[in-house]
Structure 1
Amino acid sequence: METPVLDYGSRGRIGLLLPSVNQAAEPQIRAMLPRDVGIAVTRLKLVDSSELGLLSMTHDVEAAAALLADAGVDLVVFHCTAVSTYSAELEASILERIGVATGLPATATSQSLVAALDAMRARRVVLLSPYTEEVNKRETAYFVRRGFDVLGNVGLNCSTGREMMAVTPEAWQAFALSQVQTEAEAYVLSCTTVRTAEAIESLECSLGSPVITSNSAVAWDCMRRLGISAVVPGYGRLLGHVAGH
Structure 2
Amino acid sequence: MNKFLGYIFSPLFYLLFFLTLVIFQPIQWVCYKLFGYKAHKVSVDILNFFLTYCDLFLGSSISFDNKFDIPTNRSIIFIANHQSMYDIPALIWFLRKHHVKFISKIELTKGIPSISFNLKYGGGANIDRKDSKQAVSEIIKLGRRMKENTWSTMIFPEGTRSKDGKLKPFQVGGIATLLKVVPDALIVPIAIENSWKLVQYGSYPLSFGERLRWTVLEPLEPAGKKPEEVTMDAENAIRTKLNKSLTELH
Q: TM-score range by the shorter chain?
A: 0.3 to 0.5
TM-score of the superposed pair, with normalisation by structure 2? 0.33
TM-score (norm 1): 0.33
Higher fraction of helix: 2
Larger Rg: 2
